[in-house]
Amino acid sequence: MLLDLFYSLRKARLPVSVTEYLTLLEALDRQVVAGSLDDFYFLCRSALIKDERLFDRFDQVFSAYFKGRELSLQELFGIDDLTRIPEEWLRRQAERYLSDEERQQIESLGGFDELMKALQDRLREQQEAHHGGNKYIGTGGTSPFGAYGYNPEGVRFGQDNGRHGRAVKVWERREFRNLDGSVELGTRNIKLALRQLRRFARTGAAEELDLDGTIGATARNAGMLDLQLVPERRNATKLLLFLDVGGSMQPFVSICEELFSAARSEFKHLEHFYFHNCIYENVWTDNRTRHSARIPTTQILHTYSADYRVIFVGDATMSPYEILMPGGSVEHWNEEAGAIWMQRLLTAYPHAMWLNPQAESRWPLVPSIMLLHKLMSGRMAPVTLEGLERGIRMLRQASSTPPAMSSVTDNGR
Amino acid sequence: MRFSGTDSYIATTDLTMAVNAAIVLQRPLLIKGEPGTGKTQLAVEVARALDRPLIEWHVKSTSKARQGLYEYDAVARLRDSQLGDARVHDIANYIIKGKLWEAFEAEVQPVLLIDEIDKADIEFPNDLLQELDKMEFYVYETRQTVRARHRPIIIITSNNEKELPDAFLRRCFFHFIRFPDEAVMAEIVRVHFPGLKKRLLQEAMASFFELRELPGLKKKPSTSELLDWIKLLVADDIPPEALRDPDTQKAVPKLYGALLKNEQDMQLFERLVFLNRRGK
């Protein structure tokens, strides 16, 4: 029976292994859980799922699996004697015997918000300790507030051990939704992802004692000390960052800021340039002086060597003319089409990728995104944690020459 | 032998479940969570609750898995040999025991904390797999096998700076300490400051959670910061009203320095307070 759960988890592409499944069985065998379904849920999660980003998916599978299955919990734990029947199951039974009137009363307070508002009011009204009854906060009774009572929507106070469990089950609350890997990321996450780009190399002056080398050399030197020094290990990755600014990028400013600040602290060799919509003959490094202090794109091509990695950040959302046509730029008259400049950059820097803050599902709907996607030979990733990791992988492998202009335009239409 | 929190540490049901499962099945327990939610503290409290010695191994970016087992101090031996010291003839004199060895040798089953395992090199956890699984390792220099007398209770914390290898994860129980909700937080404050006035607690909690909700904060204050802050409030004998009153100019910088650790956050907060005042 538990095997079904195991396979539904695998089907949801959760990385649960046989070892972990056996650990879970062993834990059940050693009676780590007292018998409530909540405990069982916590145990499963702790034994099977090792990444908080997957908790939400686990909750969903668990919830789907146990919906309407409470009665077979007995089977699940493989027990016969009644004393060990899970508490949850008993609770369900008890609920069955509540009269309709009682049910109605309980439902009468409406949703959760209602409940919290009522709670505040009650707190104001109530002055002394209260036990029993069905309105005020205390113990026993059927008021929604207090401990050791019954109300499916209840709010519980200071009760150490769940008596009825909770109204909304833990796994149904989906509290870990925010941690899902496909959501957008903060500076810290970005740094982590960027760290995969690190390539350590020993460069510069030799100033660190090479212990192994020293010992080896000393041994060869018949025991007389022979000190060996090596340069310190440094992150040798070099990065060029091209950031789209203005216009349609406005909603993504904060995420780009985060990306930028993470990248800046992570790489020693980082140069950044701004562009608008598409790369043309000029870029700039300071947005305040963007019209006066421009840097010719050719200068970049000549300054930075081919071992630089290139990351473009932009939503790539524009008119296709801005990419394909000379003079297509919305800001100035460009002699050559944006696509040609893109191709020049991509030829000069084989390691490149495009980060697009637009949701990936929207890409096929925007012709200009698909155009750039083709220009980049598919090396475009969304700005999510998963997307960034994917992008970094694309960046690691050098690409062949960018596709010819004609093939891009033909398919783009 | 069950762990259920201590008088100074509030453990939620799911946390105690994970700890107990790890203890019963003798598997390492991996703990993750926001900074300041008591990951490291957990090991201290488990050791205290179960009355076991605590062995702490704080991992740094330069830590190697070997250092947890033992280190061979070749340089000391080299020096001794050049000075003609008699110690040099026994290699065992230059074997320095690591934390793991210490834990394996302990008289009673200890609690071993491997703190911030993600700080170390990516291969670090993999290098410890065999040792944590079999609870034994081999010392090449002296040709002896060190076996654990009692399998230690192992608690490992991680700050998510690196992905841990799958093979390592498969052998652990895992728990993610969530940021406590208000009820649990009130409980936590209560065990740390039993005599705290109710009004002050309410006001402090309200401002604290309000502050956490502030959009655009770079670093949200967490449990340890709240506790520090309340300590300050109590030490200065600040009346509860002062926290609510936006006009108490003197209160702002002193009090919130404990909660906000970043100058941009501080500026953001001051700006909001300022706007708030003007609005009144």
| A211 interaction partners in chain B (CB closer than 8 Å) | 74-75
Rounded CA-CA distance A13/A182 in Å is 14
* pLDDT one-digit tens code per residue, A30-62: 877 766 778 888 888 888 888 887 888 888 888
Rounded CA-CA distance B100/B57 in Å is 8
Which residue in A238, A257, A259 sits closest to A310, CA to CA? A238
Complete edge-to-edge strand list for the sheet that includes strand A238-244: A269-275, A238-244, A309-313, A352-356, A380-382
The tokens for A128 are 């002394």
As beta bridge partners, residue A238 has A269
Contacts 24+ apart (CB under 8 A), B178-181: B178/A175, B178/B33, B178/B37, B179/B33, B179/B34, B179/B37, B179/B222, B179/B223, B180/B10, B180/B12, B180/B37, B180/B223
pLDDT at A77: 47
Rounded CA-CA distance A271/A204 in Å is 20
pLDDT tier at B187 (50, 70, 90 boundaries)?
confident
Higher-confidence position of A2 and A310 = A310
| A32 interaction partners in chain B (CB closer than 8 Å) | 17, 20-21, 24-25
ipTM greater than cut 0.95: no
| B34 interaction partners in chain A (CB closer than 8 Å) | none
* Three-state secondary structure call for residue A135: coil
Mean residue pLDDT across chain B: 83
Amino acid at the residue A7: Y
The verdict on a CB contact (< 8 Å) between A33 and B17 is yes
Rounded CA-CA distance B84/B190 in Å is 62
* pLDDT one-digit tens code per residue, A63-115: 888 775 554 444 444 444 334 444 444 444 444 444 455 445 445 545 444 54
CA A102 to chain centre: 44
Scanning every residue of chain B, which has its alpha carbon at the shortest distance from the alpha carbon of A214? B75
Looking at mean pLDDT, say which of A261-270, B4-13, B136-145 comes out highest: B136-145
Q: What is the mean pLDDT of residues A371-397?
A: 83
pLDDT at A203: 62
Closest partner residue to B24 (CB to CB) among A27, A38, A211 is A27
Q: What is the mean pLDDT of residues B243-265?
A: 64
pLDDT at A178: 54
The tokens for B175 are 């728990």
pLDDT at B30: 92
CA B70 to each of CA B125, B146, B148, B229: distance values in angstroms, whole numbers, following the listed order: 16, 11, 14, 41
* pLDDT one-digit tens code per residue, B31-79: 988 888 888 889 999 999 999 999 999 998 788 888 889 988 888 888 8
The verdict on a CB contact (< 8 Å) between A43 and B82 is no
pLDDT at B131: 86
* pLDDT one-digit tens code per residue, A340-379: 888 889 888 888 889 888 888 888 888 889 888 888 888 8
Q: Which of residues 81-100 of B touch A (CB under 8 A)?
A: 81-82
* Three-state secondary structure call for residue A312: strand
Rounded CA-CA distance A154/A143 in Å is 8
Closest partner residue to B172 (CB to CB) among A43, A50, A176 is A50
Cβ B20 vs Cβ B46: under 8 Å: no
pLDDT tier at A406 (50, 70, 90 boundaries)?
low
* pLDDT one-digit tens code per residue, A142-195: 444 444 444 434 443 333 333 333 345 556 666 665 555 444 455 556 666 666
Å between A404 CA and nearest CA of chain B: 39
Pairing mode of beta strands A309-313, A352-356: parallel
The alpha helices in A67-202, defined as continuous H runs, are 73-77, 87-96, 100-107, 112-125, 170-173, 187-195
pLDDT tier at B182 (50, 70, 90 boundaries)?
confident
pLDDT tier at A218 (50, 70, 90 boundaries)?
confident
As beta bridge partners, residue A309 has A239
As beta bridge partners, residue B144 has B139
Mean residue pLDDT across chain A: 70
pLDDT at A190: 64
Give yes or no for residue A338 having a pLDDT over 90. no
Dihedral (C-alpha) B162, B166, B168, B169: value to the nearest 10 degrees?
A: 90
Cβ B118 vs Cβ B157: under 8 Å: no
Backbone angles phi, psi at B63, to 5 degrees: -65, 145
Burial class (CB in 10 A: 0-12, 13-18, 19+), A36: buried
The verdict on a CB contact (< 8 Å) between B17 and A211 is no
Higher-confidence position of A402 and B120 = B120
The verdict on a CB contact (< 8 Å) between A32 and B170 is no
Rounded CA-CA distance A18/A104 in Å is 46
Rounded CA-CA distance B269/B93 in Å is 58
Give yes or no for residue A409 having a pLDDT over 60. no
Structural domains of chain A, ranges and CATH numbers in brackets: 2-85 (no CATH), 95-171 (no CATH), 202-234 (no CATH), 237-411 (3.40.50)
Size of interface A-B (CB pairs under 8 A): 80
* Three-state secondary structure call for residue A374: helix
The alpha helices in chain B, defined as continuous H runs, are 13-25, 39-50, 65-69, 74-83, 99-105, 124-134, 166-170, 182-192, 198-213, 223-236, 240-244, 251-256, 263-279
Cβ B270 vs Cβ B227: under 8 Å: no
Give yes or no for residue A265 having a pLDDT over 50. yes
Give yes or no for residue A116 having a pLDDT over 60. no
pLDDT tier at B97 (50, 70, 90 boundaries)?
very high
Which residue in B67, B55, B49, B57 sits closest to B7, CA to CA? B49
